[in-house]
Amino acid sequence: MHRYIPNTEADERLMLDSIGAQSIEDLFTDIPKNLQLDRDLDLPQPMSELELSTHMKELSKKNKNIEDLVCFLGAGAYDHYIPSIVKHLAMRSEFYTAYTPYQPEISQGTLQAIFEYQTMICNLTGMEVSNASMYDGATACVEAAMMTIESTRRNSIVVSSTVHPEVRKVIKSYMRFRDVKVLEVDMAGGVTDLEKLKSLIDKDTAGVIIQNPNFFGIIEDLAEVEKITHENKSLLINYVDPISLGILKSPSEYGADIVVGEGQSLGNSLNFGGPYLGFMATTSKLMRKMPGRIVGQSNDVDGKRAFVLTLQAREQHIRRYKATSNICSNQGLNALMAAIYMTTLGKKGLREVAMQCVQKAHYAMDKITESGKFKPLFNKPFFKEFAITSSIEAEKINNELLNHNILGGYQLEKVYPELKNGLLLCVTEKRTKEQIDKLAQVLEVI
Amino acid sequence: MEVRNDLYYSNDHEWVSVEGNKAYVGITDFAQHSLGEIVYVELPEVGDELSAGDVFSVIESVKAASDSYMPVSGKIIEVNEELSDSPQLINEDPYGNWIVVVEMSDKSELDDLMNAEQYEEFCSKED
């Protein structure tokens, strides 16, 4: 008997006999012969627990992580500081579960945490209602697009090419199966080309998606986009970096109808690309089209405050195929971390983080472009990311930086072939003057 | 189940009350009873022009979301805003609470609808 598999041979025999099978192999007779592997798996010899953990540790050392490197990479996933209280609270066993329990009878703590998360997302975006979170920024954006289609009964989505390329990819894969047209607006000088937007938008346009700050870190002219969008009776989807809302005008002030974004930067680690959380907030007018869970505040039979899932008629178990979405879960633990992060920082703290990002990013840009070897790719106001260009290939630069334990920028040429040698750098509040100076110094001698 | 004599009825359980060229449209007692407790009524926009058979409203109850179809073609000239805050009014008095008022574009479509007697028989088969 194996120590982790409690069935004895006698147990096995008994189970096989009771279903009338001769052997374990018999259980696979339904699988065609040509698909069956006619030999044992090619596995190394068993290891002891000690040997195995040593082996795994050695493998993991091949990865270089954010503790080993100084990170100037952003492009959607950000190395912000996470106060230690976030993990201490989120890892408590009362919260740390594989699945979010939603039953109000047993889950008041979880529901209250989600309610607080929703409240803070509303405060941050200025919107009236938030859901309990979505899988990630990209899927939140797709769900927002579907809301606009449901709500306007139109069937095309206009998205700026300054929206994160991976987000655009996800939008396209979803919409392909919904017979929804996705039109991309070209950019001009690092921002959405407003003339192109005007020429693309028409009576079929359900929603317009703009990222702000955009993929290049640049602040878009949202006031103008809002006018163009709403004059056409389309809905405005704003994809935002939540940290930027510490200093930027809130999307609701710009008249956004739906605000979505990647919530990773709110107290969540980089996690090798996931799990993350998408956030979504909207107006009370669109509330009933919003997918996902929403926690509301109510009173129990004794008149005490209680939290419950609310507006469930939106969801697929009641609305069935008429529901906007099949999503009926949330990223509970990630949303919890975001909530603890926002609570810890408060309004002032978040503003401070955002201010430091802006100031350090601008210092870095000035320092790097000082000698003229590197030039700004665009001359536009930016938040914590900026693009540079030079006569040197971006890949070569990154390899050289890695030799100095610096994680370089995002190679723009990968998705924007016209931006040859373009490198997108990110500077968060975690970077020190010394680290930035070192970056500039290494760049100067490449 | 209550059926009123002075109304027209559709297969989809909408009632129509006619006043000149205007049609008041709601859902029947049978419909509200099958839906159960109504929690939300999604209203169309005033000015929407819809054909008979088009969806003009979605009514959500605690157990289902159900489309309501235009019994006659025409332009929506009024919607019952009271239902946004008090959707349960339809449960309480389905014939006293219309959902939309339609300016009919083809009054002859009324001939395709049922009278009270026909509707009562129709419902007895649905049960």
The domain tally of chain A equals 2
The domain tally of chain B equals 1
What CATH number does the domain containing B22 carry?
Answer: 2.40.50.100
Confidence of residue A442 (pLDDT cuts 50, 70, 90): very high
Q: Is residue A413 part of a domain?
A: yes
Q: Tokens 């317009």 label which residue?
A: A208
| In chain B, % of residues over pLDDT 70 | 99
> Is residue A412 located within the same domain as residue A352?
yes
Nearest Cα of chain B lies from the Cα of A199 at a distance, in angstroms, of 26
SS3 of residue B115 by DSSP: coil
Q: Looking at A276, A307, A340, which one is the last position of a domain?
A: A340
Specify the pLDDT at position A232: 96
Closest residue of A to B64, CA-based? A318
CB atoms within 10 A of CB A23: 10
**Residue pLDDT, tens place only, A270-325:** 998 989 999 999 999 999 899 999 999 999 999 999 999 988 777 777 777 777 78
What CATH number does the domain containing A371 carry?
Answer: 3.90.1150.10
> Is residue A406 located within the same domain as residue A261?
no
**What's the mean pLDDT in B38-63?**
91
Q: Is residue B93 part of a domain?
A: yes
**A156-160 and A205-212: which strand pairing?**
parallel
Please tell me whether the overall predicted TM-score, pTM, comes out greater than 0.80 for this model: yes
Burial of A404 (0-12, 13-18, 19+ CB in 10 A): middle
> Is residue A307 located within the same domain as residue A366?
no
> Is residue A384 located within the same domain as residue A360?
yes
**B55-61 and A129-130: which strand pairing?**
unpaired
Nearest Cα of chain B lies from the Cα of A323 at a distance, in angstroms, of 9
Specify the pLDDT at position A103: 85
| Per-residue burial over A313-347, b = 16 or more CB atoms within 10 Å of its CB, e = otherwise | bbbbebbeebbbbebeebbbbbbbbbbbbbbbbee
Interchain pair B58, A318: CB under 8 A: no
Interchain pair B39, A313: CB under 8 A: yes
Q: Is residue B65 part of a domain?
A: yes
Domain hosting residue A377, numbered range: 70-81+347-445
**What's the mean pLDDT in A372-397?**
96
- Between A320 and A379, the higher pLDDT residue: A379
**What's the mean pLDDT in B72-90?**
94
Structure tokens at A68: 């080993």
Specify the pLDDT at position A98: 60
Identify which of B44, B38, B32, B21 has the alpha carbon closest to the alpha carbon of residue B105: B21
| Per-residue burial over A405-434, b = 16 or more CB atoms within 10 Å of its CB, e = otherwise | ebbbbbbbbebbeebebbbbbbbbbbbeee
Specify the pLDDT at position B104: 95
Domain hosting residue B47, numbered range: 8-105
Q: Is residue A51 part of a domain?
A: no
Q: Is residue B34 part of a domain?
A: yes
Confidence of residue B127 (pLDDT cuts 50, 70, 90): low
Nearest Cα of chain A lies from the Cα of B6 at a distance, in angstroms, of 33
> What single DSSP character describes residue A30?
T
Residue A413 C-beta-side C-alpha neighbours within 13 Å: 12
Which of B48, B49, B60, B69 would best serve as a mutation to test chain A binding (most A beta carbons within 10 A)?
B60
- When CB atoms are compared, the residue of A313, A320, A322 closest to B40 is A313
**What's the mean pLDDT in A234-245?**
98
What CATH number does the domain containing A286 carry?
Answer: 3.40.640.10
Closest residue of A to B66, CA-based? A319
Confidence of residue A423 (pLDDT cuts 50, 70, 90): very high
- Between A225 and B62, the higher pLDDT residue: A225
Specify the pLDDT at position A97: 74
Give the residue numbers in B contacting A (CB under 8 Å), as ranges: 39-40, 42, 58, 60-65, 67
Structure tokens at A319: 């609305």
**Residue pLDDT, tens place only, A70-109:** 999 999 999 999 999 999 999 998 888 766 678 888 889 9
Specify the pLDDT at position A317: 74
Q: Which residues of chain A make contact with B64, given a CB cutoff of 8 A?
A: 318, 320
Confidence of residue A421 (pLDDT cuts 50, 70, 90): very high
> Is residue A242 located within the same domain as residue A101?
yes
How far apart are alpha carbons A346 and A328 in whole angstroms? 30
- Between A177 and A351, the higher pLDDT residue: A351
**What's the mean pLDDT in A340-354?**
97
Asked whether this complex has an ipTM greater than 0.90, the answer is: no
> Is residue A102 located within the same domain as residue A234?
yes
Specify the pLDDT at position A1: 58
> Is residue A324 located within the same domain as residue A383?
no
> Is residue A232 located within the same domain as residue A373?
no
Q: Looking at A291, A315, A340, which one is the last position of a domain?
A: A340
Q: Is residue A307 part of a domain?
A: yes
Q: Is residue A46 part of a domain?
A: no
SS3 of residue B104 by DSSP: strand
DSSP E strands: which ranges in B1-127?
8-9, 14-19, 22-27, 38-42, 49-50, 55-61, 65-69, 74-79, 100-104
pLDDT at A224 over 70: yes
> Is residue A325 located within the same domain as residue A351?
no
**Residue pLDDT, tens place only, A350-367:** 999 999 999 999 999 999
> Is residue A276 located within the same domain as residue A400?
no
**What's the mean pLDDT in A154-181?**
96
Q: Is residue A138 part of a domain?
A: yes
> Is residue A282 located within the same domain as residue A183?
yes
Confidence of residue A38 (pLDDT cuts 50, 70, 90): confident
> Is residue A285 located within the same domain as residue A381?
no
pLDDT at A328 over 80: no
Q: Tokens 């998606």 label which residue?
A: A209
Range of weakest confidence among A265-269, A322-326, B76-80: A322-326
A177-183: list long-range contacts, CB under 8 Å, 24+ apart: A178/A146, A178/A149, A179/A155, A180/A145, A180/A149, A180/A155, A180/A156, A180/A206, A181/A155, A181/A156, A181/A157, A182/A156, A182/A157, A183/A156, A183/A157, A183/A158, A183/A159
Q: Is residue B99 part of a domain?
A: yes
pLDDT at A200 over 70: yes
Q: Is residue B120 part of a domain?
A: no
Helix (H) or strand (E) holding A165: helix A165-176
pLDDT at A419 over 80: yes
